[in-house]
Amino acid sequence: MISELSKRISLFLCRKRIIDYNDIEIYKYGFETICSTLLGFIITIIIGTIFQMFLLSIMYYIMFVTIRQFTGGYHAKSYFKCNLTFSVVTMLVFSFTKIAVYTKVYMMLYHILFLVLSFMIVWYYIPVENENKPLDQEQKKKNRHIGIALTAAVSVVSCAIYPISVQTSILMAFTQLSIAVLIVITHNEKGSEKDEEDEKYDT
Protein backbone atom coordinates (compact mmCIF):
# COMPACT_ATOMS: atom_id res chain seq x y z
CA MET A 1 0.00 0.00 0.00
CA ILE A 2 2.69 2.50 1.01
CA SER A 3 4.91 1.41 -1.87
CA GLU A 4 2.08 1.70 -4.40
CA LEU A 5 0.98 5.10 -3.09
CA SER A 6 4.57 6.41 -3.23
CA LYS A 7 4.92 5.11 -6.77
CA ARG A 8 1.73 6.86 -7.87
CA ILE A 9 2.82 10.15 -6.30
CA SER A 10 6.24 9.94 -7.99
CA LEU A 11 4.70 9.15 -11.40
CA PHE A 12 2.22 12.01 -10.99
CA LEU A 13 5.04 14.46 -10.24
CA CYS A 14 6.97 13.09 -13.21
CA ARG A 15 4.00 13.60 -15.56
CA LYS A 16 3.71 17.16 -14.28
CA ARG A 17 7.45 17.53 -15.03
CA ILE A 18 8.15 18.46 -11.43
CA ILE A 19 10.70 15.66 -11.11
CA ASP A 20 12.89 13.91 -13.68
CA TYR A 21 12.01 10.39 -14.84
CA ASN A 22 15.47 9.14 -13.86
CA ASP A 23 14.86 10.27 -10.28
CA ILE A 24 11.54 8.44 -9.83
CA GLU A 25 13.02 5.62 -7.72
CA ILE A 26 14.77 8.12 -5.44
CA TYR A 27 11.57 10.08 -4.86
CA LYS A 28 9.57 6.87 -4.48
CA TYR A 29 11.88 5.76 -1.68
CA GLY A 30 11.64 9.20 -0.09
CA PHE A 31 7.84 9.17 -0.16
CA GLU A 32 7.83 5.62 1.24
CA THR A 33 9.95 6.77 4.16
CA ILE A 34 7.72 9.80 4.81
CA CYS A 35 4.49 7.77 4.60
CA SER A 36 5.85 5.00 6.81
CA THR A 37 7.10 7.50 9.40
CA LEU A 38 3.77 9.36 9.39
CA LEU A 39 1.83 6.09 9.73
CA GLY A 40 4.05 5.02 12.63
CA PHE A 41 3.39 8.33 14.38
CA ILE A 42 -0.37 8.03 13.86
CA ILE A 43 -0.33 4.45 15.18
CA THR A 44 1.56 5.63 18.28
CA ILE A 45 -0.87 8.49 18.92
CA ILE A 46 -3.89 6.18 18.57
CA ILE A 47 -2.42 3.60 20.97
CA GLY A 48 -1.37 6.37 23.35
CA THR A 49 -4.89 7.80 23.33
CA ILE A 50 -6.40 4.35 24.02
CA PHE A 51 -4.09 3.92 27.01
CA GLN A 52 -4.70 7.53 28.12
CA MET A 53 -1.01 8.31 27.59
CA PHE A 54 -1.22 10.86 24.78
CA LEU A 55 1.74 13.06 25.75
CA LEU A 56 3.82 10.05 26.75
CA SER A 57 3.10 8.46 23.37
CA ILE A 58 4.74 11.44 21.65
CA MET A 59 7.76 11.12 23.93
CA TYR A 60 7.86 7.37 23.26
CA TYR A 61 7.80 7.84 19.49
CA ILE A 62 10.56 10.46 19.47
CA MET A 63 12.70 8.35 21.78
CA PHE A 64 12.13 5.09 19.90
CA VAL A 65 12.79 6.53 16.44
CA THR A 66 15.80 8.62 17.52
CA ILE A 67 17.62 5.80 19.31
CA ARG A 68 16.80 3.23 16.61
CA GLN A 69 18.21 5.55 13.98
CA PHE A 70 21.67 4.96 15.44
CA THR A 71 21.41 1.51 17.03
CA GLY A 72 19.63 -0.19 14.17
CA GLY A 73 17.45 -3.21 14.82
CA TYR A 74 14.70 -5.35 13.39
CA HIS A 75 13.58 -4.47 9.85
CA ALA A 76 10.66 -6.37 8.32
CA LYS A 77 10.66 -7.20 4.61
CA SER A 78 7.50 -5.20 3.92
CA TYR A 79 6.01 -1.96 5.22
CA PHE A 80 2.93 -3.87 6.41
CA LYS A 81 5.00 -6.22 8.58
CA CYS A 82 7.12 -3.32 9.76
CA ASN A 83 4.13 -1.30 10.96
CA LEU A 84 2.45 -4.41 12.39
CA THR A 85 5.59 -5.20 14.40
CA PHE A 86 5.84 -1.59 15.56
CA SER A 87 2.17 -1.62 16.60
CA VAL A 88 2.61 -4.81 18.64
CA VAL A 89 5.80 -3.52 20.30
CA THR A 90 4.14 -0.19 21.12
CA MET A 91 1.09 -1.89 22.63
CA LEU A 92 3.31 -4.17 24.72
CA VAL A 93 5.39 -1.25 26.01
CA PHE A 94 2.29 0.75 26.96
CA SER A 95 0.56 -2.31 28.47
CA PHE A 96 3.54 -3.27 30.62
CA THR A 97 3.93 0.34 31.71
CA LYS A 98 0.31 0.53 32.86
CA ILE A 99 0.54 -2.85 34.60
CA ALA A 100 3.76 -1.86 36.38
CA VAL A 101 2.26 1.42 37.59
CA TYR A 102 -1.12 0.16 38.76
CA THR A 103 -0.10 -3.18 40.30
CA LYS A 104 2.66 -1.43 42.26
CA VAL A 105 4.91 -4.51 42.10
CA TYR A 106 7.50 -2.62 40.08
CA MET A 107 10.56 -1.58 42.08
CA MET A 108 13.61 0.57 41.49
CA LEU A 109 15.70 -2.60 41.49
CA TYR A 110 13.78 -3.96 38.48
CA HIS A 111 14.06 -0.56 36.84
CA ILE A 112 17.85 -0.51 37.14
CA LEU A 113 18.13 -4.13 35.98
CA PHE A 114 16.08 -3.40 32.83
CA LEU A 115 18.17 -0.34 32.03
CA VAL A 116 21.48 -2.12 32.64
CA LEU A 117 20.39 -5.09 30.51
CA SER A 118 19.31 -2.77 27.69
CA PHE A 119 22.57 -0.84 27.87
CA MET A 120 24.66 -4.02 27.81
CA ILE A 121 22.84 -5.28 24.71
CA VAL A 122 23.27 -1.94 22.98
CA TRP A 123 26.95 -1.81 23.93
CA TYR A 124 27.60 -5.34 22.69
CA TYR A 125 25.63 -5.48 19.44
CA ILE A 126 25.24 -2.06 17.85
CA PRO A 127 25.21 -0.83 15.23
CA VAL A 128 22.89 -3.43 13.67
CA GLU A 129 23.25 -2.82 9.96
CA ASN A 130 20.28 -2.79 7.60
CA GLU A 131 21.16 -4.72 4.44
CA ASN A 132 19.25 -2.12 2.40
CA LYS A 133 21.31 0.71 3.94
CA PRO A 134 24.92 -0.48 4.25
CA LEU A 135 27.21 1.71 6.37
CA ASP A 136 30.89 2.44 5.90
CA GLN A 137 33.26 2.01 8.83
CA GLU A 138 33.22 5.69 9.72
CA GLN A 139 29.42 5.76 9.84
CA LYS A 140 29.31 2.56 11.90
CA LYS A 141 31.70 4.08 14.42
CA LYS A 142 29.69 7.31 14.59
CA ASN A 143 26.36 5.48 14.98
CA ARG A 144 27.81 3.27 17.70
CA HIS A 145 29.07 6.21 19.75
CA ILE A 146 25.81 8.16 19.39
CA GLY A 147 23.66 5.08 20.07
CA ILE A 148 25.54 4.27 23.27
CA ALA A 149 25.50 7.92 24.38
CA LEU A 150 21.74 8.22 23.82
CA THR A 151 21.05 4.97 25.65
CA ALA A 152 23.18 6.07 28.59
CA ALA A 153 21.55 9.52 28.69
CA VAL A 154 18.02 8.08 28.65
CA SER A 155 18.97 5.63 31.41
CA VAL A 156 20.27 8.43 33.63
CA VAL A 157 17.22 10.65 33.00
CA SER A 158 14.88 7.71 33.59
CA CYS A 159 16.42 7.02 37.00
CA ALA A 160 16.50 10.72 37.89
CA ILE A 161 12.78 11.28 37.25
CA TYR A 162 11.66 8.01 38.88
CA PRO A 163 10.67 9.71 42.17
CA ILE A 164 8.88 12.48 40.27
CA SER A 165 6.98 10.58 37.54
CA VAL A 166 7.05 6.80 37.87
CA GLN A 167 4.97 6.22 34.75
CA THR A 168 7.25 8.32 32.54
CA SER A 169 10.33 6.69 34.01
CA ILE A 170 8.98 3.16 33.51
CA LEU A 171 7.90 3.92 29.94
CA MET A 172 11.43 5.08 29.14
CA ALA A 173 12.90 1.88 30.58
CA PHE A 174 10.49 -0.38 28.69
CA THR A 175 11.10 1.57 25.48
CA GLN A 176 14.83 0.97 25.78
CA LEU A 177 14.21 -2.67 26.62
CA SER A 178 12.01 -3.11 23.53
CA ILE A 179 14.75 -1.63 21.34
CA ALA A 180 17.28 -3.99 22.92
CA VAL A 181 15.04 -7.03 22.37
CA LEU A 182 14.59 -6.12 18.70
CA ILE A 183 18.37 -5.82 18.38
CA VAL A 184 18.85 -9.32 19.82
CA ILE A 185 16.16 -10.77 17.53
CA THR A 186 17.83 -9.23 14.48
CA HIS A 187 21.26 -10.48 15.56
CA ASN A 188 19.94 -14.02 16.04
CA GLU A 189 18.18 -13.96 12.67
CA LYS A 190 21.36 -12.87 10.92
CA GLY A 191 23.28 -15.58 12.75
CA SER A 192 20.78 -18.23 11.60
CA GLU A 193 20.97 -17.01 8.01
CA LYS A 194 24.77 -17.15 8.11
CA ASP A 195 24.67 -20.72 9.49
CA GLU A 196 22.32 -21.78 6.68
CA GLU A 197 24.65 -20.27 4.08
CA ASP A 198 27.63 -22.06 5.63
CA GLU A 199 25.75 -25.36 5.52
CA LYS A 200 24.98 -24.87 1.83
CA TYR A 201 28.65 -24.28 1.05
CA ASP A 202 29.65 -27.32 3.13
CA THR A 203 27.32 -29.57 1.16
Question: Are residue 2 and residue 89 in the same domain, yes or no?
Answer: no
Question: Are residue 88 and residue 152 in the same domain, yes or no?
Answer: yes
Q: What is the pLDDT of residue 58?
A: 97
* Domain around 34: 1-50
Question: Are residue 62 and residue 151 in the same domain, yes or no?
Answer: yes
Question: Are residue 41 and residue 85 in the same domain, yes or no?
Answer: no
Q: What is the pLDDT of residue 91?
A: 97
Question: Are residue 88 and residue 164 in the same domain, yes or no?
Answer: yes
Q: What is the pLDDT of residue 121?
A: 96
d(CA 57, CA 41) in angstroms, rounded, equals 9
d(CA 29, CA 33) in angstroms, rounded, equals 6
Tens digit of pLDDT at every position of the chain (203 positions):
677 777 788 887 888 778 787 777 887 778 877 888 899 999 999 999 999 999 999 999 999 999 998 998 777 777 788 889 999 999 999 999 999 999 988 999 999 999 999 999 999 998 887 776 777 888 889 999 999 999 999 999 999 999 999 999 999 999 999 999 999 988 887 665 554 554 554 55
Q: What is the pLDDT of residue 198?
A: 47
Q: What is the pLDDT of residue 2?
A: 73
- Can you give the pTM of this predicted structure? 0.84
Question: Are residue 25 and residue 66 in the same domain, yes or no?
Answer: no
Question: Are residue 87 and residue 124 in the same domain, yes or no?
Answer: yes
Q: What is the pLDDT of residues 23-76, one digit of tens each?
A: 778 877 788 778 888 999 999 999 999 999 999 999 999 999 999 989 987 777
Q: What is the pLDDT of residue 202?
A: 52
Structural domains of the chain, count: 2
Instruction: Please answer whether residues 27 and 10 qualify as being in contact, where contact means their C-beta atoms are separated by less than 8 angstroms.
Output: yes
- Domain ends where: 15, 34, 50? 50
Question: Are residue 62 and residue 75 in the same domain, yes or no?
Answer: yes
Question: Are residue 44 and residue 63 in the same domain, yes or no?
Answer: no
Planar angle of CA 170, 84, 126, nearest 5 degrees: 60
